[in-house]
Chain A
Amino acid sequence: MKDSNSAEETLQTEDHGDKFIFRIRYPWRTLLAAKSLLFYALLLLSPALADMLKIPAFIFSTQYFSAAFAAFLILAWLDFRHFSRQQRKVKASLQQLWNSKRQLQQRAQTSASHTDKLKLFISDKLLEYMEYDEKYLHFKSIAAEVRHNGVISFDKVQSALTYAASHSLPDEQGNNALLYQQALVGMRYLWDLLDLSTTDNMALHIGANVSRCEELLFQAELQGSALSELPLVPTFDPQRALLDTLTLHLGVTLCDEQGNPEPAFLYDADALAQLSAQQDKPLLLTDSEGLYRIELQPCDELLGNANHIVLLLENLLRNAQFFATKRQYKSRFAPIAIRLWEAQQCLCVSIYNRGPHISDESREQIFQLGFSTRRAREHNGKGLGLYFAQQIVQGFDGDIGFDNIHNHSELYHLRIELAGGEVQNLNLEVTLNAAGEPQVCLADSNAGAAKQWELRAEKRLHSIEVSSRSNPQVARLTLAEGINQWFDPHNPAQPQWLISLSGRKADLLSFMPLDIRGVQFSVRLPTLNGRLDGVGAAGLEPDVDELGAGLRAPDDF
């Protein structure tokens, strides 16, 4: 603590906005009082001086001295108090200044560290992208080199295979050079993959190819010539493309409806088209492993390169195959259902698999490059398949989407006819448990729901009729020798129930609701006639503007 006398100066600070003004203030009152007191004391000690100055003697009394000393102390205290106040103010101002400086410093440090982090992040990403770009460019240049050098080899192999196929004798099955044909198909597919992999924009590349084919088609239409007269057939059969994908690229052994492997019509395009067109009901195929259920309906041809559709189907089917072979997605019915049909001049293909549902969050991302429906740890989940699929579909002016397939609660009515004409009517209620799996119990009973419901018949069963609340149409199952299980005939692709007979006398009837949860991808592409009529160019959306065409005046421009 400083004495007021020793305080030579006082700093006064005044805050004018954001600048400080320092004013020095001397303790002049105390100094003056001290000097006066000293002079008073000098007069007290030197009476001769007082006499000479003619100061009255009563002033030198003790009371007056005490009063003068007290006045000095009061002045000194006032100055000291004022000094202390100023000191506190200055300290507070300095503290404030220091604090703000420290805050600024901290902020600067934080910003600097953020900037550093940002710089680091940007440079990392930049490096990453540069690396990716370099890799990409490197890959591109290799691919272009391979393409450049490989095209001659490709042409030689293609010419040799074409020659061999046309000059070879029929084999034991009567197929003319089937192996050569398959090798040619495989070779061209390989080439088209390389061709696509070296393009900058897959959708544009395929779109340009479709446009070239469309021009050929239009020329044939305008000049009244047949497509076969053109140097290059611009169309292909989508059924054949699907079967080629399965047999040649996925290695599936296809069977007809009766389970006979590799029926002859699979290898004869004309026979397949005739069979498909002649049948009232769709052509059904399965495979030797029981993974696929394929339903083919007659459909128009498509424009463009069949191998692009093969690549699209291969990617969707490989995805489906991945889940179908996983233990947790096994089912009692074929876990992959493929359906191909034509609607409104569009080819429609749906591919159902028993895989896990796709969340709403993933809905937008599912077709993006690098996004995979499979878990990251899995070997094949590179996120390329669905991206390719979408790019190809875009090139064909089509659309692609998916639906999650759910289980549903249902009430089934069973009418069981026993030998002798005795009839039993039963209502079975199917509910879903917490995990979303279907369970069944006898309706209006206290029995708990179970995976399957069983009935021990007292007499031999004759027939069963099944209908449900949502579909009152009756499915009649006539029990015959050798058949002991029936799937829901109303939903052959995703049967919702299975009725089976077991027991020594086939007298134990069981009804099992089936878990049909899965994902169904749907693809829609304009057909040949759709192209001629202008479907696809403007997307597949209806022309809203044209809805009121009939209401307009005839001379409306």
Chain B
Amino acid sequence: MIKIFWVEDQSHWIDKFRALLERTDFAPGAEADLPEAEHNKLEVFKFSEAALARISQTDDADAPHIAILDASLNGNDDGGFSVSRALLKKWPALPIVFLSEHSGTGIEQKAFEQGVTQDFIAKHQRNIEGVLLWRMKALLRQSLTPAANKKSQLVSGELRIDLVSWEVWWKGQKLMNPANQARPLAPTPRKILRFLVEASPRPVTTLQMAEWLDADLEKFSYANYRQHIKTLRKSLALAHGDEEAFMNLCKAGQGIATFGAEGAYLWKAPA
């Protein structure tokens, strides 16, 4: 059972999602619905003022697990923003989802620019129920994962690879496609980086990498491997902030370093 803090000014959406949010088991890997006695606890507010008052009165022990906010509340485009700021001030690690009809507009842009949300979901999209639950599960996964199973991350120095979501972070920055920073990094470079980090400090040859990737040996050549390494280095360099400095690290045998003459590369966390 989790506690959901929900601010929504239109009854239609409350009616539509209430039962769904109450009975869904957000625990990682859970498939079946929760039994009625263990239903999630929903706190629904129609006005931002009421939500703000509740935040100020709530103890840390009673803190919600996740918040769902409508961006525009009763004609006030900043309604959701003010609630989000109050929530983050009190519980900085609280996952917040914006559920709004203003997807693709300046409101979404502002929400991400101001860092008041981790996700912005359009209400009018196809299969909105499925999308909402899926995104909430993704946000709740870290906080709801039992401590024993928390080894879902691969960490090497400043590099962090989430082994479930496959997101890769360098110095707190998510690795993106170097050719277009708005797009995600392609899957093969992510897989290659994971294998390099797992094998570290041993180098991985083209043949070994092809086997690990389960790739066709006729198609996966050193040229492919090298191209993916180039993409990875560029992506890491962009996240590093100083592109030249990161490339110099690689040249000096750190980060993703070239090894020997057999088309091998290795991962060595920069000191």
Chain A residues close to B by CB (< 8 Å): 144, 147-148, 151-152, 154-156, 188, 191, 195, 198-200, 205, 207-211, 214-215, 218-219, 221-223, 230-232, 397, 531-534, 537-538, 546, 549-550, 554-555, 557
Contacts and interface: CB of A to CB of B under 8 A. Distances in A.
A532 B187 CA distance: 7
Interface string B75-115: 00000000000000000000000000111111000000000
B165 interface: yes
Contact of B106 (A155, A188, A200, A207): A200
B130 A148 contact: no
Contacts, number: 101
A218 B123 contact: no
Contact of A537 (B16, B102, B105, B179): B179
B166 A223 contact: yes
Given A195-B103, A209-B104, A537-B183, 6 more contacts: A218-B185, A221-B187, A222-B190, A230-B134, A232-B126, A534-B179
Interface of B: 10, 12-13, 16, 72, 101-106, 123-128, 130-131, 133-134, 165-166, 177, 179-180, 182-188, 190-191, 222-223, 226-227, 231, 250-251, 258, 260-263
28 contacts: A144-B105, A147-B102, A151-B124, A152-B10, A152-B12, A155-B124, A195-B124, A200-B106, A205-B104, A207-B182, A207-B183, A208-B104, A210-B183, A211-B184, A214-B183, A218-B184, A218-B186, A219-B166, A222-B190, A232-B131, A532-B187, A534-B231, A537-B179, A537-B186, A554-B222, A557-B250, A557-B251, A557-B258
A170 to B, nearest CB: 24
**Which interface residue of B125, B134, B183 has the most chain A CB atoms within 10 A?**
B183
A492 B185 CA distance: 43
Contact of A231 (B133, B186, B251): B133
A231 B134 contact: yes
A207 B177 CA distance: 13
Contacts of B72: 148
A147 B166 CA distance: 35
A144 B187 CA distance: 37
Nearest to A539: B179
A532 B133 CA distance: 26
Contacts of B133: 231
Contacts of A533: 186
Contacts of B250: 557
A198 B184 contact: no
B140 to A, nearest CB: 15
Contacts of B101: 147-148, 151
Contact of B186 (A205, A209, A232, A534): A534
Nearest to B227: A546
A555 B261 contact: yes
Contacts of A195: 103-104, 124
B196 to A, nearest CB: 16
Nearest to A204: B182
B8 to A, nearest CB: 12
**Which interface residue of A214, A221, A231, A531 has the most chain B CB atoms within 10 A?**
A231
A537 B180 contact: yes
